[in-house]
Each structure stands twice: as C-alpha cells, then as structure tokens.
Amino acid sequence: MAVLLWRSSSAVVTQWAKKIWSIFKDSKRINNEAPQEIDFNAEAVIISADESPSVDYFVKPFLVKKGIAATLVRADGDNRISAAWQGVKLVVVVRYLPKNWVRPLEDFRSAGGRIVYFMDDDLMDERSFLNLPTAYAKKIKYLATNKLSIIEKLSNEFWVSSEFLAKKYARWSPTILPARPEKELLAPRSSISIFYHGTSSHQSELLWLVPIIHVVQSRSEATQFEVFGDLHINRLYRGIPRVAVLHPMRWPAYVAFTHSVHRHIGLAPLMPEPFNEARAPTKFFDFVRMGAIGLYSDVAPYKDFIRNGIDGILLPNDPDIWIAAIVELVSDAARRDRMVQAARQRAIELTSL
C-alpha cells in the first residue's frame, strides 16, 4: 500500500501519504491484525485460517458444550506462541495444516498434548474438488490433501461434520459434530453502517480511507463498513474487521440497491487530483436516498454546496480529524437524525427548482 500511496505526483498528497502510513502502522500495531486476544490460560487452542463457519457452527460450540475453554489462533500467525501454551491440553486443527505448524504440533504431542483434526468438506479426495475454481482447489491440495499422512500421524482424534464424511473416512473412527451455533450467533445485532461508494476512478480516496477505517473499526464494535471494489480493494481492506467489499454495479442496479437499503454514515473524501476538479456534489443525493448523513472533504464541489453541520459535515483532509468525526457521529444518533432530515428536506426542495 505504501508504494501505491507514494507514487502520487501531488506534493500535498505525498504529505498526506506520510501521515496516512503513520496512522496505518499505528493501527496495525494496536490491532496486530489478530483474530482475537489469545488466552494462554485456555485449555484448548483452535488453529484455523480465521474465524469461520467451521469454527462457529461446529468446533467452538462442541468445546463449549464439553466445558472446555478455547482460544483461536490464526494458522498464518506466529507459531512461536506455542511456547506460551502453559495450560493447553488440546489443539484442534481446523481444515488446513500449514507447514510452519507441523514441528510445533509434533513437540506439543510429544509433551503429552492431544491433537484433533476437524474437517467439514471432503478435503482429502481430489475427485471431490475437480469442479472447484483452480486457485481454491490448489489451496485445498496444498494445505490439506498433500498433508494427509502428516495429519493422520499427528492427530489423536478426528472430528467431521457429516455422516457422509464419517462413513468415507471410517478408518479415522471420527466423531460427528452437529451444527449447533451458540445463541449469540443467532441474536440480531444493532450496528452503525459506514460506507464509501466510490468507483474505480477514486483509487486515491480508496487508499486514503484504509488506515482511517482500520482505526475506526478498532475503536467501535458496533460499526460495519461497506465499500465497492475489485480484488485489489478487497485485499486492501481484508485485515480490517467488519468490512464488506461489494462488487461494482451499473447505475440502474446501484439506484435499485440504494433504494432498498438503509445506511447511517456516508463518506465522501476527495483528494487534490486533476480528475477530481470536475466533480459534482452528486453523492449528497445518494446519501439522502439511503437515509445517511454525509461527511465530505471541505473542497469543491462540496465546499459551496454542503451546509456544514446542517445537512452534512465538511472536514479538512486530515485523517485524525476524519477519525474523530466518524467516531463522534457513531455515538450521536440524535445529531445524525437531525442532519438526515435536513438533508432530505433540502434534496426535495432542490428537485422542484
């Protein structure tokens, strides 16, 4: 990301890039892109690519029902934490076994620990994933199928998710785990939706927002962020919790989509680039259609259009200021509602001119 930011031809943007990168490094330091806080006093460790349906629907509820306290560790994380597993008696490997975990798990088992392998798809028979996308099939083969002999040697026990898998891999004498999510996974949650709906012509803005959203999401558990983008954008935002990257859509589909959803806070930053000089304040109307209040860069075309504090908020392009403004607005529903009503009324008035 740093390289992309630093290629800007604008000296002003370069200055911002330095500050953005500083904030991004700080936010990574604070969060360290970890799945959760790791409880080294837990009785069990779940090694998984990430939080997943496999963990939440099967493994975690099963352990809870057994009264076993467990903590999740990312498979691509630092395997040296195994040295801190003081009270851990059980390790559950979910689906995939990265090479860097083999030796720590061998040591763990040699020291008397128990290892369970859990599988909820047929990952050991290449015929089962012949019709899958090539990249996904290669991943399965590299992290599971090719590790079969190692997994069988390491594991004391096997858990599967279905009768089909239990019969096919009967030699494992596996335990079938039912899909039994905990109640909290089914309970509705209230959240504040933040979004940036920019097209591919807004690459600078999409990059500029990454560290800002990273910090905002780390400060609030109640916020969801939504952005449009391709695979590149998905990768940029992948390490940030509670982010949805939507596939770009044509205008008629976008209008229908924004008519059908309700959002809370819309973001409209604008960087000082030549292509942005001809922009119009159309995002104001997109935000009104979704019932959202907008935060806008205090530059044209918003500077002379938005009534600051009445039907929107104008902000200098300073990441710290944007972070503070978003966090404050998240916790002030009355202010959001007041400005949303004013923005809608003004939009209606403008249609009659």
Listed by start position, the domains of the chain span 44-184, 188-351
pLDDT for the residue numbered 60? 94
pLDDT in tens, 121-170: 999 999 999 899 999 999 999 999 999 999 999 999 999 999 999 999 99
**More reliable by pLDDT, 238 or 150:** 150
Task: Out of 3.40.50, 3.30.1600, 1.10.10, 1.10.390, select the CATH number for domain 44-184.
Answer: 3.40.50
Q: What are phi and psi of 57, to 5 degrees?
A: -90, -25
pLDDT for 39: 60
| Per-residue pLDDT tens over the stretch 94-109 | 999 988 899 989 988 9
Detail the DSSP E strand segments found in 186-300.
Answer: 192-196, 223-228, 243-246, 265-268, 293-297
DSSP E strands, the chain: 44-48, 70-74, 90-94, 114-119, 157-160, 175-176, 192-196, 223-228, 243-246, 265-268, 293-297, 313-315
The arrangement of strands across the sheet holding 175-176 comes to 70-74, 44-48, 90-94, 114-119, 157-160, 175-176
- pLDDT of 252-288, one tens digit each? 999 999 999 999 999 999 998 888 888 999 999 999 9
Q: Is the pTM of this model over 0.85?
A: no
* Topology match between the domains 44-184 and 188-351: yes
Amino acid letter for position 145: T
State the pLDDT confidence band at 14, using cuts at 50, 70 and 90. Answer: very low
Token pair of 132, please?
């899958």
Is 22's pLDDT higher than 60? no
Q: What are phi and psi of 211, to 5 degrees?
A: -70, -30
Topology of domain 188-351, CATH: Rossmann fold (3.40.50)
pLDDT tens-digit map of 187-233: 777 899 999 999 888 888 999 999 999 999 999 889 999 999 999 89
45: phi then psi, degrees, rounded to nearest 5: -120, 130
* Interval 43-95: pLDDT, tens: 899 999 888 999 999 999 999 999 998 888 888 766 655 655 667 889 999 99
**pLDDT band, very low/low/confident/very high, at 13 (cuts 50, 70, 90):** very low
227 and 299 Cβ atoms separated by less than 8 Å: no
pLDDT at 40: 58
The pLDDT value given to residue 283: 96
